[in-house]
C-alpha cells in the first residue's frame, strides 16, 4: 500500500539540535526547506534559529514550542557506563525533560512529535530513562491523542561524532587507529553492532515524520549493517593502514554482551518508506568518517589524548 506523505513546509523545533544527530536531522530538514529552530541551554551553532532554555524548566519548553508544528525531541544526557554516577540527573533530564516536552506539545496542540528510543536489553541508567520516556510518549498518544512517533536508533556513526566524554565504538576506534594506539574492545568482540550512517538515519527519520499517518508502533529505522565488534575493528585498522594492535578489555559496567540486540520483527521505517536502497555501505561511511578525524585540529587531538591518557600510560 502506498503511503501518503505530506509535502507542506513545516516549522520545526529540535531539542538537542546542536548535537551530532540533531545537526544531521536539522540539515536534512533544511534541505527539505523546513524552517528549523533548535532548543538548547547554549546552542553551539549559528546555522539554525535558536530558542534557548532548559528541558528542566517547563516555562522554557512551553515558550520554545510556540508557533511550532513539529517537534523532534532529541535532547538528553547520553552514555552507558558514563551515566551510572549521574543517575539522578539523568532521570531529571531524560524523563522529566521528556514529560515537559510532551506536555508543552499537548497544550499548544503540536501537529507531530518525534521521540528516539533504543533497544533496552542492558540494565543501565540510559536504557532505563529512554524506556520510561518511550512509555510516556505512548501514554500521551493514547490518552491525549498527541501524534508521537517513535523509532529505535541503533549504532549511528559518521563525521562529527564526539570522541569523548561519551565513548562510542566507531569514533574511538578510528581515533586510536590513526594515532597508533591500541584499538580497545570491551569483551571478546563477538558481540554485534548494528551500524547506520548519520545521513541515512536523518533521511529515514524525517521522511517517517512526513507520513500523513502511521500506526502507533515502535519500529527500527532499517538500513543498518550488522557486524561483530572484532570485524569493525579489523576493517577500521585496514582502512587507516594502522599499525595498532587490538586489545580486549573487560566489559564496562552497564553493558552486557550476553544480551545482544534483537531487531524488531515488524517492518522497519525504511521498509515502510521504500528507502532500503539509500543505505550507505560501511566502506563509504567509514571512509568519510575517517577523513573527518584525520582533519581534526591538533588542539582537539591533544584534548582527546589527555582525556584517555591514564589507560595508555
Cα–Cα distance measured from residue 175 to residue 183, given in angstroms and rounded to the nearest whole number: 9
Task: Check residue 6 and give left, alpha or beta (phi > 0: left; psi -120 to 50: alpha).
Answer: beta
Peptide bond into 126 cis (omega under 30): no
Residue pair 148/106 in contact (Cβ under 8 Å)? The answer is: no
DSSP code for 10? -
Cα–Cα distance measured from residue 114 to residue 222, given in angstroms and rounded to the nearest whole number: 17
pTM equals 0.92
CATH of 10-152, one of 3.20.20.70, 3.40.50.720, 3.30.70.100, 1.20.1250.20: 3.40.50.720
Q: What is the CATH number of domain 154-197+221-313?
A: 3.90.25.10
Looking at residue 4, its pLDDT comes to 57
Looking at residue 250, its pLDDT comes to 93
Lowest mean pLDDT among 238-242, 263-267, 295-299: 295-299
Residue pair 252/190 in contact (Cβ under 8 Å)? The answer is: no
* Alpha-helix runs per DSSP H in 211-281: 229-240, 269-273
pLDDT one-digit tens code per residue, 125-184: 999 999 999 999 999 999 999 999 999 999 999 999 998 888 899 999 999 999 999 999
**Range 222-245 average pLDDT:** 97
Per-domain boundaries in the chain: 10-152, 154-197+221-313
**Range 191-196 average pLDDT:** 94
Percent of the chain with pLDDT strictly greater than 70: 93
Lowest mean pLDDT among 20-24, 201-205, 293-297, 298-302: 298-302
Q: β-strands 192-197, 225-228: how paired?
A: antiparallel
Contacts of 85 (CB under 8 A, 6+ apart): none
Amino acid at each position: 500500500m502506498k503511503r501518503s506523505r505530506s509535502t507542506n513546509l513545516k516549522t520545526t523545533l529540535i531539542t538537542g539540535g546542536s548535537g551530532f544527530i540533531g545537526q544531521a536531522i536539522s540539515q536534512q530538514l533544511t534541505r527539505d526547506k523546513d524552517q528549523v529552530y533548535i532548543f538548547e541551554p547554549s546552542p553551539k551553532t549559528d546555522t539554525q534559529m535558536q530558542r534557548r532554555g532548559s528541558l528542566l524548566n517547563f516555562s522554557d519548553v512551553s515558550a520554545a514550542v510556540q508557533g511550532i508544528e513539529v517537534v523532534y525531541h532529541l535532547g538528553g544526557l547520553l552514555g552507558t557506563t558514563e551515566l551510572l554516577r549521574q543517575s539522578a540527573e539523568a532521570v531529571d533530564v531524560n524523563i522529566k525533560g521528556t514529560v515537559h516536552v510532551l506536555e508543552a506539545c499537548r497544550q499548544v496542540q503540536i501537529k507531530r512529535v518525534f521521540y528516539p528510543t533504543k533497544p533496552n536489553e542492558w540494565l543501565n541508567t540510559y536504557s532505563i530513562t529512554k524506556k520510561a520516556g518511550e512509555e510516556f510518549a505512548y501514554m500521551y498518544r493514547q490518552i491525549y491523542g498527541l501524534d508521537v512517533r517513535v523509532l529505535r536508533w541503533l549504532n549511528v556513526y559518521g563525521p562529527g561524532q564526539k570522541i569523548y566524554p561519551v565513548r562510542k565504538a566507531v569514533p574511538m576506534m578510528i581515533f586510536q587507529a590513526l594515532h597508533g594506539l591500541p584499538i580497545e574492545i570491551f569483551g571478546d568482540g563477538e558481540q554485534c553492532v548494528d551500524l547506520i550512517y548519520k545521513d541515512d538515519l536523518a533521511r529515514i527519520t524525517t521522511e517517517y515524520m512526513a507520513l500523513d499517518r502511521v500506526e502507533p508502533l515502535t519500529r527500527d529505522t532499517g538500513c543498518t549493517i550488522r557486524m561483530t565488534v572484532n570485524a569493525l575493528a579489523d576493517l577500521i585498522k585496514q582502512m587507516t593502514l594502522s599499525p595498532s594492535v587490538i586489545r580486549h578489555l573487560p566489559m564496562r559496567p552497564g553493558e552486557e554482551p550476553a544480551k545482544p540486540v534483537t531487531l524488531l520483527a515488524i517492518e522497519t521505517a525504511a521498509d515502510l518508506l521504500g528507502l532500503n536502497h539509500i543505505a550507505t555501505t560501511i566502506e563509504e561511511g567509514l571512509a568519510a568518517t575517517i577523513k573527518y578525524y584525520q582533519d581534526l585540529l591538533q588542539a582537539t587531538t591533544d584534548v582527546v589524548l589527555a582525556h584517555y591518557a591514564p589507560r595508555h600510560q
